Amino acid sequence: MRHRIAEFAVGLVFGLGLVISGMTDPGKVMGFLDVAGLWDPSLAFVMGGAVAVSFLAFAVARRRATAFLGGALHLPASRGIDRRLVAGSLLFGVGWGMAGFCPGPAIVSVGAGEPKAIAFVGAMLAGMAVFEWIERRKACTPPAALID
């Protein structure tokens, strides 16, 4: 239960950071992405501040075997740079540029009751579900290439 409260607090403070930084305003995000128009560099400052502080945390984590509360360190298993990574990221960027929403700020905006954010997150979950469905089908279908 103690851990659930900690995780809730993490989401809460992260969400607060997103609101304070203006990232829950799609206009601000698209203002950063609008290099040919009136350019709002704010997002660069947000990422700069976030990455700088996180860098210190990851530097500490690298030297540890466990988290400070004793649990395991679940760091992403590094795989190579593949087509999925690139294609997925390119696609994500298009969606991001279209509405100025990415997952975190969109969910926070749902909490604020924004109707378009609710529509976005609903569609996002649907997109994620499609991914899961495709992956599950791939796992169940024996690849023809193996029969050789």
Partner 1 sequence: MQIDWNHFAPWSALTGGILLGLTVAGFLLLNGRVLGVSGIVGGLLRPRGGDIAWRVALVLGLLAAPALHRLVVGAGPVPRMDANWAVVVLAGLLVGLGTRYGAGCTSGHGVCGLARLSPRSLVATLAFMGTGFATVFVIRHVLA
Q: Which of residues 32-71 bind partner 1 (CB under 8 A)?
A: 33-43, 45-58, 60-62, 66-69, 71
Q: Work out whether 4 is an interface residue with partner 1 (CB under 8 A).
A: yes
Report in angstroms how near the CB of residue 100 gets to partner 1 at its nearest: 7
Q: Work out whether 144 is an interface residue with partner 1 (CB under 8 A).
A: no
Q: Work out whether 76 is an interface residue with partner 1 (CB under 8 A).
A: yes
Decide: 29 and 100 in contact? Cβ < 8 Å. Answer: yes
| Residue 113 one-letter amino acid | G
Coil, helix or strand at residue 66: strand
Distance CA 54, CA 46 (A): 12
Selection from 12, 17, 16, 23 nearest residue 105 by Cα? 23
Q: Work out whether 143 is an interface residue with partner 1 (CB under 8 A).
A: no
**Which residues does 118 contact at the CB level (< 8 Å), separation at least 6?**
110
Closer to partner 1 at the Cβ: 38 or 147?
38
Q: How many residues bind partner 1 (CB under 8 A)?
A: 115
Q: Work out whether 145 is an interface residue with partner 1 (CB under 8 A).
A: no
